[in-house]
Structure 1
Amino acid sequence: MKLSLDKISDHNSKLKLSHQDEWDFLSNKLSKEGVDVDELIQKIKDFQIAVPSWALGAGGTRFGRFGIGGEPRNLEEKLADIGLLKDLTRKTDSVSLHIPWDIPSDYSAIKSLASELGISFDAMNSNTFQDNGGSETYKLGSLGNSKKAVRDQAVAHNIEVVEIGKKLGSKGLTVWLADGSNFPGQSSLRSALQWTQESLTEIYKAMPDDWKMLLEYKPYEPNFYHTIIPDWGTSSLLCKSLGDRAKVLVDLGHHLPNTNIEQIVATLMYQDMLAGFHFNDSKYGDDDLTTGSIKPYQLFLIFCELISGSEDGAQAWESISWMIDASHNTKDPLEDLMQALEMISISFAKALLVDRRKLTTCQIEGDVVGAQECLQEAFQRDVRPLVREARIQNGGAADPIMLYRSLAVRKNLISERGAESRSTGL
């Protein structure tokens, strides 16, 4: 479904008066506080988050999956949905493909369609957590499997993903492993780590010089005794053995409960080892819930560390990749993605408003209360008019979900694609 600019303009005109009142009040207050409002808006406009190709269909659990109808049946329709998200939110301009779920049948046609929609290709994602027609099975692991034939097959798949990405203009490979064990004694912990390191070395050598490897970690699931890359330290250890183009990818859900993720972010930036983010949220574990729906203050604190680390020169903002990675088994995935993009933008905007000079002074002088007040003042501020103004200036909708629903987009997608259509790969 193609969204005309006239529909966005008509929508925005209906909300102009209410928005203008809110925006005038906030912008005047910010200006009096010495904030460069135009610079602030530009930073919000420039911050773009990639959408993964697997996020356009209904998600699910190991117990069941409930379709919503109108799901994209091929890569072309997935790109069309991301183009719709871009038109509505102006917060995403790239797609992260999952292989082999989304291998293009016609590279020229896919690149042409993406260019027409203003979409580029973010990091590629390999898949060795399920069998994909190869002669060897990944039941007991892939890059860290005890059998060399299985490891070779997994390495070959990752190299194939790199070759596909080169044709599309991607510059990165995301590696997430389901490798591990469910029972003590099932595998040699040291050998599995060694085999993984050797496999990753082969993949790293096959990447172009201008590519980076984003190495993910996860403490549990699908294996519940041990995973080969359970934490950021192990991922960092492996990356340092590979080379300076291998860095650690942080998935917000891939942590044990109550983990201080903002400290992990600060530590990785201190070492210039942060590859990027997979945004989501969790209550208990890797729940893959909508970003900011459970722990908005944590998300804000993470952005505080990101902005601080960038401004202090620890790691360049441009070197970090951003992507959403969530499950939508009870939501319309497009609406869920819009909610996530909004919460990410809000947290980013709030973090930009922290008085860093005052905060630093409080930290040096040991003013604990003053330091907390600096953060709370920014976190408690309602920046929705600011984020909305940035979106409107960028050509997006004042209220993306309201417009999406008023245009009955999902109903139209069901009409075009069918009530039983199912997104590829899920």
Structure 2
Amino acid sequence: MTQKFGAGIWHFATYVDRYATDGYGAPRTVLEAIDLAGRVRDLSVVDLNYPFFGGEFSNEQVAETLKRNNLGVIGITPEIYTRTFVKGAFTNPDPGVRRLAHELVTEAAEVVRYFGADYVKLWPGQDGWDYPFQVDHGALWKHSLDGVGQLASENPDLKFVIEYKPREPRVHMSFDSVARTLLGIEKIGLPNVGILLDFGHALYGGESPADSAQLAIDYGRLFGMDVNDNMRGWDDDLVAGTVHPIELFEFFHTLRKNNWEGVWQLDQFPFREDSVAAADHAIDFLKTIERGLDRLDMDALRQAQERHDALGALAIAQRALYSAH
């Protein structure tokens, strides 16, 4: 099977932060971003924000631009983290705002059907709290699970993936770790709810991404993944493999060992770099990882791991990865 590569369409947008409030480039529409994505070598699919950014665009206009660039759609990410949801989407204290979140995700589900995508991606970045005593933790968690559960039960033909993250924009996000997210999914108890594991979020949360992937796989809930990199102190969304290449290699080794098949997806924010070059650079390294996995001496690695031989196992892994570059 030829490995497919994807990217979040935001990779090809332009960004602002609290210092460069005028942005790191002129604003782009989703159609312009798709045209940029089409210039990336070996890119097959994109994850699209909904509503489409930069103007009023129909599904048909987006589909035509995708077709022109030979791109498909892997997922739709409803924007349930904007100003409207500043106090939360599923966990908002106002039931009217919670209904708005439900309606927006329901619309996104129809867009998933239109494009034949794999999933609705839920990143409820504003769901959580900031201060001690700010919320009733039991009520907050119940709203989180009820919000996802109702959508999943109303749309049993679609997959819903939760992308967890420790913090930002909330100081404490409701779905903040692989373990807590799995607990919530098990509580929901529906087969079409799973995890989208962001490599950088696992790093940032003090997890081992390979261990997080194994845990999600063990529960049958790893529905998707994103890769990027960071310095572990923040969600920097750097180019994949630039800071933690050996941990990225272990992450993909875990996926292959478990016969997990899916798109290798980029979630990067190249603020100051050329977005096409950043995607090409990442995919080139992911191809190196793929070759490294082919070279990995699995029997020798298994024996080293049975002995908990750290240096022996690392030597085997490093030899395979670095000789494949």
Structure 1 and Structure 2 fold alike (TM over 0.5): yes
1:63 aligned to 2:29?
no
Contact 2:39 / 2:276 at 8 angstroms: preserved in 1?
no
In angstroms, what is the RMSD of aligned CA positions?
Answer: 2.2
Structure with greater contact order relative to length (CA < 8 Å, sep ≥ 6): 1
Indicate the residue corresponding to 1:3 in structure 2: none
Q: Deviations over 1:90-143 (max 9, x none)?
A: 2x1111110113487343343244234321111110111113xxxxx3221110
Q: Output the CA distance in 2 between the equivalents of 1:258 and 1:148.
A: 34
Percent identical pairs in the alignment equals 20
Q: 1:148: Cα distance to partner?
A: 1.3
Indicate the residue corresponding to 1:130 in structure 2: 82
Q: Deviations over 1:313-359 (max 9, x none)?
A: xxx41xx3432112121112122122222222222321232111222
Q: Output the CA distance in 2 between the equivalents of 1:244 and 1:201.
A: 11
Q: 1:252: Cα distance to partner?
A: 1.8
Indicate the residue corresponding to 2:249 in structure 1: 300
Tell me which of 183, 196, 207 is aligned to 1:237.
Answer: 183
Indicate the residue corresponding to 2:100 in structure 1: 153
Q: Deviations over 1:34-80 (max 9, x none)?
A: xxxxxxxxx5xx112212221112334232254345x6x33332222
Indicate the residue corresponding to 2:283 in structure 1: 341
Q: Which amino acid aligns with 1:220?
A: R
Q: 1:257: Cα distance to partner?
A: 5.8
1:268 aligned to 2:210?
no
SS in 1 for 2:120: strand
Q: Which amino acid aligns with 1:375?
A: A
Aligned residues: 319
Indicate the residue corresponding to 2:237 in structure 1: 288
Runs of 5+ unmatched residues, structure 2: none
Runs of 5+ unmatched residues, structure 1: 1-42, 132-136, 311-315, 385-426
Q: 1:214: Cα distance to partner?
A: 1.1
Q: Output the CA distance in 2 between the equivalents of 1:121 and 1:288.
A: 21
Q: Deviations over 1:176-211 (max 9, x none)?
A: 1121111111111111110111111121123251x2
Tell me which of 118, 132, 137 is aligned to 1:171.
Answer: 118
Indicate the residue corresponding to 1:52 in structure 2: 8
TM-score calculated relative to the size of structure 1: 0.70
Deviates more, 1:150-159 or 1:104-113: 104-113
Q: Output the CA distance in 1 between the equivalents of 2:174 and 2:153.
A: 21
Where in structure 2 are the equivalents of 1:48-127 lying within 5 Å?
Answer: 48-64=4-20, 66-68=23-25, 73-85=28-40, 89-90=41-42, 92-102=43-53, 105-127=57-79
Greater Cα radius of gyration, structure 1 or 2? 1
* Structure 1 residues 380 and 329: alpha-carbon distance in aligned structure 2, compared to 1, 3 A threshold: same
Tell me which of 249, 253, 271 is aligned to 2:196.
Answer: 249
* Structure 1 residues 266 and 339: alpha-carbon distance in aligned structure 2, compared to 1, 3 A threshold: same
Q: Which amino acid aligns with 1:269?
A: I
Contact 2:246 / 2:318 at 8 angstroms: preserved in 1?
no
* Structure 1 residues 257 and 190: alpha-carbon distance in aligned structure 2, compared to 1, 3 A threshold: closer
Q: Output the CA distance in 2 between the equivalents of 1:74 and 1:368.
A: 48
1:192 aligned to 2:140?
yes
Contact 2:241 / 2:282 at 8 angstroms: preserved in 1?
yes
Indicate the residue corresponding to 2:173 in structure 1: 227
Q: Output the CA distance in 2 between the equivalents of 1:368 and 1:338.
A: 33
Q: Output the CA distance in 1 between the equivalents of 2:140 and 2:205.
A: 26
TM-score calculated relative to the size of structure 2: 0.90
Q: Output the CA distance in 2 between the equivalents of 1:278 and 1:232.
A: 14
Higher helix share: 1
SS in 1 for 2:85: coil
Q: Which runs of 4+ in 1 moved over 6 A?
A: none
Q: Which amino acid aligns with 2:3?
A: F
Q: Which amino acid aligns with 1:306?
A: L
Indicate the residue corresponding to 1:398 in structure 2: none
Q: Which amino acid aligns with 1:222?
A: P
